[in-house]
Each structure stands twice: as C-alpha cells, then as structure tokens.
Structure 1
Amino acid sequence: EIDKIARKKNTTSRDVSGESVQQGMLKLLEGSDIEVPVGANSKNAMVPLATVNTRNILFICGGAFPDLEDIIKQRLNKESSIGFTSNLKDAHDKDPDILSKVTIEDLRKYGMVPEFLGRLPVICTLQGLTKEMLIQILKEPKNAILKQYQKLLALDEVELLFDDSALLAIAEKAMKKDTGARALRAIIEEFMLDIMYEIPKDENIGRVTITGDYINGKGGPLIEIRKDEVPKIASSRTPEKS
C-alpha cells in the first residue's frame, strides 16, 4: 500500500515515514543486490544476511489513494474552464471513472516522488466492486465466509441456507460501508452471532434460512424443525394367493 508512504504535505521537518521511505526503496525497485536479514529476529544486529537480486522480481504497488480523486478533478475542471468549454468546469465532479484518468503528475501532487514513479512504468486503475461481484465473493470461493458458517452449523447437523434476497441485502449494506469486500464478514458476523450461539442448544432445529427481511431488520431467520423419519416395519404376513 504505497499510498501510506506518500510525502507529507505542509511539513518542514524530515519526512521519515513518507519521502524517506520512498527514497530508500529506489535501489530495491531498480534491480540490484539487496542484503536482507535471515531468521525471525531480524532486528538483532548479529543476525546473518542473505543477498537477494531484485532484477527479475516483479513489483506490484497498490493502494486506495484517498483524496486522489480531488486532485484529478481539480486538474480536469481547470482544463475544462478554458476556452469554449468553460461552462463545463464541473463536468467531472460526478464522473464514476475519475480514477481512470490519473496521470503521473496527479500522483506527484499526491506525494509520490518523481524518482519513485519513474521506476513504476505501468499505471492502471481497478474498478470498484459491484453488488454482483460482492455476491460472487460470498458464494463462489472455496473458503467463502458463507461456506464457513455452513460447515460450523453442520457439526451440529443443522443446515444453513441464505436465500437470494439475503445475499442482495448483505451486498447492499457492504456497498454503503464503502470498504470493499472487507465489510462482508463484519455484516454477516453481526447477524450470525445469535444464531451460532442459540441454534446448537436446540436439537430439534434442522434448518435455518437467512432471508433479506432478517438482514434488513424486518424479521427473523426462518427456522425449520427437524423431521424424524418413521422406520418402515417389515410385514411378516405372506401375501394371499389370488
């Protein structure tokens, strides 16, 4: 998350956590021999060092870059306010794809030093997660959080289901939090806490269905009682001959 090491603005002292870190990473990014400590206690001065050549290492630097949108909008609105398009100076304020218009100069104004940016030749932006993507994250991965809860309740022989309205409601709540897929676990744990604590106490419960109404605070989960099968009794009577 290189946005965390951006140069601090309006400071007269040495920026040890921002610009200095960027300067220290230049040698690492340009491809050279770097000595790194070996072992868990890397802060020990006597720990052995190993040499790693970074020439063939692919470095991918990412980050959320808060406030970068404002820098891009300021530049684009300034360009739009010149000449015959001056009436469109606010045209970019509601652009959902504003980050895709980022330039090296925008990143420099954000706080990244030119030498650091010069060693990262490719810049691309990632689209925000949609509700459909969040629902896929809930269901499809092998270790999806829904599957984790289903396996936990399966230990008590209880089937846990999430209907489509519940998945949509969870995704909508996550979109409002604007923290990406991280919000999914927090939302689900909030609604599953009581269920995971209370349901295993009742051996008669066989199935729990989470609905959209429950997620939206308009009701509770649907609980189905376990159905005991009556064993078939074999008849000892011989069928009558017709």
Structure 2
Amino acid sequence: MLAWRARQLRILTRGLRTQTRYEYVPRDDMDDHPYMRPAGLATPRQLVQYLDEFVVGQEKAKKVLSVAVFNHYNRVHANLSSLSPEEEPGAMDWSETNVDDVRSGVSSARLHPHPHRISSSIPLQTRHPVPLFEKSNVLVIGPTGSGKTLLARTLARVLDVPFSVSDATSFTQAGYVGEDVDMAIHRLLQAASWDPHRASTGIVYIDEVDKIARKSGGTGMEGSRDVGGEGVQQALLRMMEGSIVSVQGKSPSPADTPSAAGPEGRSRPGQRGANAPSSKSDTYHIDTSNVLFILSGAFVGLDSVVKRRVAKGSIGFTANLAPSEESNSGSFLPFFTPNRGSSHNMLDLVEPGDLVKYGFIPEFISRLPSITTLAPLTIPDLRRILTEVRGSLISQYTALFGYSGVEIRFTSSALNEICRKALERGGGARGLRGIMETLLLEPMYEVPGSSIRFVLINEAVVQGKQPALYWNKSDGAAFWTAWAEEESLAEHTAS
C-alpha cells in the first residue's frame, strides 16, 4: 500500500520544479527585440568623446545632452515601431488547455514562456506592447561664451538628423510684427530638404530663450500684452509638447513658372494678372511629438534669484547679511559675463521655482524636465581653447598667415598673458577672439605683400610694450633662436 502511494505521488509531482531548468542567457541575435538600440546610433559615451574634441570642459552639460539625444532617438525608434506593428500568422493561444494535462489530472499554470526561449516562427502575442515614451526637452543655462551653441552645433555634425537654429529674440506672439514660433519648424523643414518625415524626427535649437521671460512691472504697461515674452512662451507650449504644425513650403520662383512676359522679359500690356500662374505653395504638416527641443540662454541675474532662495534669514548680532554689492540694486553691471566663477557655481542649484520667479510661466518650465548648467571658463580652459581643441584659435591664425607664406609663433608666456587678459575682459571664448584680433591687427596689415616671412609674438607684444617681431626669409635662424630664448626664459621664470 505504501509503495503504491509513493508511486502515485511520483507521477503527480514529476513535472514540478522549484528552479528553472535553463538559465536566461542573453542572445546576441536580438535585433528584433523592441527595446534594442537602433543600429548606427552612437552611445552617450561616444557622443561625449566626440564633443571633447571641440568643446573644453562642461562635463555635466556634455553628459546631459548626450543622454538626452540618445534617449530621444531610442524613444523615436520605439514609438514609430509600436505605431505600425507587424501582424504575423500562426499566433499561438497560450490560454488553451493541454489535453495531456487534463488526462493526467494536472492543469497547466498557463505561464508565458520567456521571450528568449520561444522560436522566432512563433510570435508571443500576449507580450505587452512597447509603451509610448514621453519626450524630455533640454534647457541649457550658462554665461556668454561658455559653449552653449557650440555644443549643439557639434552634436549636429555627428547626428544624421535635421537640425535648425533659431533666435528667441525675434519671436513674437502670432499676429504681431516679428517671427512666429512656427519659423523654428520651417527652418527644420528646410534643413530636412523639405522632407516632412525626416523633419518630424529632428532637433530644434532655440538660443537666447531667457529674452522671452515675462517682463516685470514698473514700466507703466502692466495692462498691455507681453507679446514678446509671455506670449511667445504660450505659443511654444503645444509645439514643445507635441502638435501638428502647418508650414508653407517653398513657393515656385518666377523663373520656374511661365510668365506673360515677352521674349525680352517685358510684360505685355493688357495681360497683367489675366493669365498669371498660381503661386500657391505646398503646405506641409509636421508632427512635433518626436522633435527634440534644446533651449539655451545666459539668464543674467538668475544666480541672484538662487542666492535669495538658498540664503537663510536670521536676526541678531551674528546674522548672515548679504554682501553690499548684492543688496545694492543700482550697482554697475558689466557688459560681458565675467569668466571668474566662485568656488561653487550657484546656477548648479537652480530649480524650476527659480525659473518661474525669473519670469517664466510654470507650464513652460514643466515642458523642460532636463536642466543643465555651464560653468564659466577658467585660465586652463582658455589655454586649451587657444591651442588644443580642433579648430583652435592659434591654428586658425597660423593657417591664415600661412596663406601669405608667413610663419607666426607665440611664446608660452604670450599665451598665458592672452588668457589672463581674456579672463579679465570676460565673454569666454568670444573674448579670446576679440583679443587676438586686436593683437594681430598690425601684423595682418603689414605682412601681406611684404618681404616678411617670420612673425614672433611674445609677452611684451601682448602687453603692448613693443610691436610684433619680424624677420625676412633669410633670417630664419635668427627667428628660431629668438623663439628658443623666449621659451627658455619662460621655463626658468616658472621654475
């Protein structure tokens, strides 16, 4: 009796397992998996490595933009594939009951098999569809000349997608003098060679977005409409979230259409407008649901808003009071954003509430979930911009003089002095170019068409104590000797 019960128990429990029989070993041939990365799309690390060749520093902003672009096109790939599912025949209904299980008295648990185990010929119909991922637009905050526009333009070179650049200062609310916000999509369609499908998966970059902040009161126009500030923000809301934008295409040029002009190009009398061809242009409808928006601006004064929020109020003899230059509202503001940054960048602490106080409506800020900041450039950063990155300023001016058959050299002390003056002047990398133009004005005027073949710029020349040093073609040895002496003197002074 006990032996018969043991045999029956073995029959009932022979198919039960507490551990999986096969491990979930990932396969390499998973190209049809809906969550796989599209072929040809660079990883965020590869995008950052590409940006490092052109942009100095700003590691956080590079990571944020690279991740945003990578996730955006993964999202576009997943959303487009989910909208057009492929219907495969031979669907297997996993809810059907197995006849053998009924005969043995054991019912199936109706567990769905792992996707890696099923054959490619049998689709898994009960698998959940790919969700529609939401879009994460990016807001880039940084001082003038810190590389905001350069980051976006550099990403445009490596990405095979349409890319358009617009300036928010020219935008006004619809119906007023200026550009409508639809012009950003119009430029994107132009960059896509008038292909609406490619334009609907492109990138729109809007610079100087801080200029459309809501204007504060005190001007006596509180009742008037802010058509260049809040009106533009409201017009951008639906476009950034996703809407259908109608764009007028390129109209046929007069040269491409038959005209009523004579053989000499003159109009024949009496036929003006009678047989004139229709100049109606094509209308394109662009869906901005898959368009990534990158907005940037200097946001001058935003650091003061953050400081007021972070500062802790107190009373008494030991109260922490704000510095006099911050409390004085009539203090002088420099024309350029200074390159000197404090030990801690206050803009790193920015929150959406600070941007609302700065003048943006909450609906606009909520459509920019990803916010990154750029730090002011330091002297080592300016030195790398001068000499190391691709398309550095020194390489540009060296090639410019090379077109005239002239070789120009800068000593190390001269480069350090240029960076020091740029730090005091402000304006970031743009300040460097302004100093270089002023410094090389006389050499660029004197050298072309003369017998000069060598130019040396040392520290005294940068300081304005002496003019640039020139040598003729036969004095090449003296030029190299003078340059070597300047370098050895700089090394001796540094040690």
- What TM-score do the two structures reach when normalised by structure 1? 0.82
State how many pairs are aligned: 222
Alignment of 1:74 with 2:322, yes or no, is no
Over residues 17-56 of structure 1, what are the superposed CA-to-partner deviations in whole Å (9 max), with x where a residue is unaligned? 0000000000111022222232389xxx954321222222
What is the aligned counterpart of 2:283 among 49, 56, 76?
49
Would the aligned equivalents of 2:379 and 2:423 in 1 still touch at CA under 8 Å?
Answer: yes
In structure 1, distance between residues paired with 2:466 and 2:403: 26
Would the aligned equivalents of 2:251 and 2:280 in 1 still touch at CA under 8 Å?
Answer: no
> Structure 1 residues 40, 174: closer, same or farther in 2, change over 3 A?
farther
Q: Secondary structure at the match of 1:227?
A: helix
> Structure 1 residues 177, 50: closer, same or farther in 2, change over 3 A?
farther
Alignment of 1:14 with 2:225, yes or no, is yes
In structure 1, distance between residues paired with 2:357 and 2:397: 45
CA RMSD of aligned residues (A): 2.6
Q: Secondary structure at the match of 1:160?
A: strand
Over residues 170-222 of structure 1, what are the superposed CA-to-partner deviations in whole Å (9 max), with x where a residue is unaligned? 2222222221211121111111111011123431x221111122111122223
Over residues 66-123 of structure 1, what are the superposed CA-to-partner deviations in whole Å (9 max), with x where a residue is unaligned? 111111112222xx12489x733438x7664111111111110100110000000111
What is the aligned counterpart of 1:162 among 386, 407, 410?
410
Matches within 5 A, 1:105-144: 105-144=353-392
> Structure 1 residues 6, 167: closer, same or farther in 2, change over 3 A?
same
Would the aligned equivalents of 2:411 and 2:458 in 1 still touch at CA under 8 Å?
Answer: yes
Partner of 1:174: 422
Partner of 2:33: none
In structure 1, distance between residues paired with 2:244 and 2:363: 19
Would the aligned equivalents of 2:461 and 2:467 in 1 still touch at CA under 8 Å?
Answer: yes
Partner of 2:209: 2
Q: Secondary structure at the match of 1:61?
A: strand
Q: Secondary structure at the match of 2:439?
A: helix
What is the aligned counterpart of 2:245 among 25, 28, 34?
34
Partner of 2:474: 227
In structure 2, distance between residues paired with 1:145 and 1:39: 38
> Structure 1 residues 157, 98: closer, same or farther in 2, change over 3 A?
same
Structure 1 window deviating more from structure 2 (142-151 vs 194-203): it is: 142-151
User: What is the identity percentage for the equivalent residue pairs of Structure 1 and Structure 2?
Assistant: 38
> Structure 1 residues 99, 38: closer, same or farther in 2, change over 3 A?
same
In structure 2, distance between residues paired with 1:139 and 1:72: 35
Q: Which runs of 5+ in 1 are unaligned?
A: 230-242
Q: Secondary structure at the match of 1:213?
A: helix
What is the aligned counterpart of 2:294 among 41, 60, 64?
60
Q: Secondary structure at the match of 1:39?
A: coil
- What TM-score do the two structures reach when normalised by structure 2? 0.42
In structure 2, distance between residues paired with 1:40 and 1:135: 49
Output the amino acid matched with 2:386.
L
Output the amino acid matched with 2:216.
K
Q: Secondary structure at the match of 2:447?
A: helix
In structure 2, distance between residues paired with 1:163 and 1:178: 23
Instruction: Work out which of the two has the higher radius of gyration on C-alpha atoms and give 1 or 2.
Output: 2
In structure 2, distance between residues paired with 1:97 and 1:202: 50
